[in-house]
């Protein structure tokens, strides 16, 4: 498992160090953290701010994390002895009892390494849960309401291949919690919302609210 650029979780971190922890390119750090509502202080980010913002955990939970980068779904599959193809679908269907899976994008599926390893090696398939800060998330119902659609529409639209779903965490049992900051950003970028803010009539658009909000990407793959 890669640890390039990773350092102690105390103090401030630069983009190289954060990229090593998140397992992403340093060029994508500012964009990803910005979408999660995590702000920098000068040229660095306080480590606890990164952990709490990226994982949505309560402040006290940050101190309990081991000094290890996040784990990709491919690495998790290897640790679990499971095929990587279909692993995420099984988690969503509730077929596998596993720690929360963070979905930061089509190729950015991450586990907290200590949780996944503990679950994999525990005879009773248990792991230490990290308390999540619910104020940083929206449930699927709340997300649908914020975007002005039904829950069915939300699931159908985000189920399409290539549709960039808002960043979220898949909890045990397949329950999704969406990061509130990105849902609110997507909502604010809708033409009808922008028009309302300008106090002018909303322009016509096709594809429905979600069709306009969704961003299509070309990346593919399990990680």
pLDDT in tens, the chain (223 residues): 544 444 455 688 999 999 999 999 999 999 999 999 999 999 999 998 999 999 999 877 877 675 689 999 999 999 999 999 999 999 999 999 999 999 999 889 999 999 999 999 999 999 999 999 999 999 999 988 887 777 777 766 665 534 468 899 999 999 999 999 988 887 877 655 554 555 545 444 344 444 444 443 334 456 7
Q: Give me the pLDDT at residue 118, please.
A: 96
* pLDDT for 124: 95
- Is 44 strand, coil or helix? strand
Structural domain includes residue 38: yes
Domain of 49 in residue numbering reads as 12-62
214: Cβ contacts below 8 Å, ≥ 6 apart: 157, 158, 163, 164, 165
In the structure encoding, which two tokens stand for residue 14, read together? 């630069």
H helices, E strands: number in the chain = 12, 10
| C-alpha span between 101 and 26 (Å, rounded) | 22
Residue 118, in any domain of the structure: no
Compute the distance between CA of residue 63 and CA of residue 183 in angstroms, rounded to an integer: 28
151 near 141, Cβ under 8 Å? yes
Please tell me the total count of domains within the chain: 1
Q: Are 140 and 183 in contact (CB under 8 A)?
A: no
DSSP-H helix ranges across 56-203: 59-62, 73-80, 87-92, 113-121, 140-146, 151-158, 180-188, 191-198
Does residue 169 belong to any structural domain of this protein? Answer: no
Residue 147 lies in a domain: no
Tell me what pLDDT residue 53 has: 94
Question: What pLDDT shows up at residue 184?
Answer: 87
CB within 8 Å of 143: residues ≥ 6 apart? 154, 166, 178, 183
Q: Which helix (H) or strand (E) holds 19?
A: helix 15-22
In a domain, 23, yes or no: yes
Is 37 among the domain residues? Answer: yes
Residues constituting the chain: 223
Instruction: Give residue 206's pLDDT.
Output: 41
Is 209 a domain residue?
no
CA-CA-CA-CA torsion for 222, 84, 172, 58, nearest 10 degrees?
Answer: -50
| Whole-angstrom distance, CA of residue 47 vs CA of residue 14 | 9
Helix (H, G, I), strand (E, B) or coil at 35: helix
Contact 50, 10 (CB under 8 A): no
Residue 124 lies in a domain: no
Predicted local distance difference test score (pLDDT) of residue 203:
44
- DSSP E strands: which ranges in the chain? 12-13, 45-46, 71-72, 101-103, 109-111, 137-139, 163-164, 168-170, 176-179, 215-216
22: enclosing H helix or E strand: helix 15-22
């Amino acid at each position: 498992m890669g640890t390039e650029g990773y350092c102690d979780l105390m103090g401030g971190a630069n983009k190289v160090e954060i990229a090593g922890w998140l397992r992403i390119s340093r060029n994508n750090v500012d964009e990803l953290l910005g979408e999660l509502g995590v702000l920098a202080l000068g040229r660095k980010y306080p480590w606890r701010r990164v952990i709490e913002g990226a994982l949505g955990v309560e402040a006290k939970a940050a101190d309990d994390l081991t000094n290890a980068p996040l784990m990709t779904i491919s690495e998790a599959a290897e640790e679990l002895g499971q095929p990587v193809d279909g692993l995420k679908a099984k988690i969503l269907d509730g077929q596998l009892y596993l720690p929360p899976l963070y979905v930061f994008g089509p190729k950015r599926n991450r586990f907290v390494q200590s949780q996944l390893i503990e679950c994999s090696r525990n005879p009773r398939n248990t792991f230490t849960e990290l308390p999540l800060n619910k104020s940083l998330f929206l449930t699927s119902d709340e997300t649908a309401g914020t975007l002005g659609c039904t829950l069915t529409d939300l699931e159908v639209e985000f189920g399409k291949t290539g549709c960039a779903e808002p960043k979220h965490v898949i909890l045990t049992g397949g329950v999704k919690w969406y990061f509130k900051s990105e849902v609110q950003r997507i909502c604010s970028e809708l033409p009808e919302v922008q028009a309302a803010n300008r106090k002018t009539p909303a322009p016509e658009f096709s594809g429905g609210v979600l069709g306009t909000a969704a961003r299509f990407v070309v990346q593919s793959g399990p990680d």
